[in-house]
Amino acid sequence: MPLDRKRLRNLMAVALSTEEPAEAAVALKKARKLLKDAKLDIHWLLSVVETAEPPLSTMPWWPPPHGEESWQTMLEFCHREENMPHARSNEREFLASVWSQSAKSGWQPTRRQSEWLRSIYIRLTSRVVKNATSGFWAPPNF
């Protein structure tokens, strides 16, 4: 039987938000049965939670700034832990280098460094927007 994701979501919401232990226990029991019927288990659920992107509204940097962002703003966005894995390997090396250089007092990126930083920033912010508008997220190989 396929998993009814909406029902699972609602059961988990009840289980985690109620102050009544009996209500939480019933919701958890139903959620476990729903997973079992779909031939899934708690490990599957935990992997979904672990790899899911948080809703954009909970991200402190959302929405991304528009217009003429400073190189510091772009670097901070690109260097974030959740964005770095989406940069290409040569971009990650570049970002790490610029990040370490930026700690020096008075340091400014060159024109070429600024252009590359902006192109990485645009690509990574586009990825975030694309993920936000693509609908329900599902883990790979599901």
d(CA 67, CA 100): 25
Supply φ then ψ for residue 55, to 5 degrees: -60, 145
Determine the pLDDT at residue 132.
52
pLDDT at residue 137 in the model:
43
pLDDT in tens, the chain (142 residues): 888 888 998 898 899 888 899 999 999 999 999 999 999 988 888 888 777 665 544 555 545 555 567 888 889 888 887 778 888 899 999 999 999 999 888 889 998 998 899 889 888 887 765 555 555 444 444 3
Q: Determine the pLDDT at residue 64.
A: 52
State the pLDDT at residue 136: 45
Confidence (pLDDT) at 141: 40
Please give the model's pTM, rounded to 2 decimal places.
0.46
> In this structure, which long-range contacts are made by residues 94-99, counting pairs with CB atoms below 8 Å and at least 24 apart in sequence?
94/120, 95/120, 99/75
Q: What does the domain layout of the chain look like in residue ranges?
A: 5-51, 58-133
Distance CA 73, CA 57 (A): 19
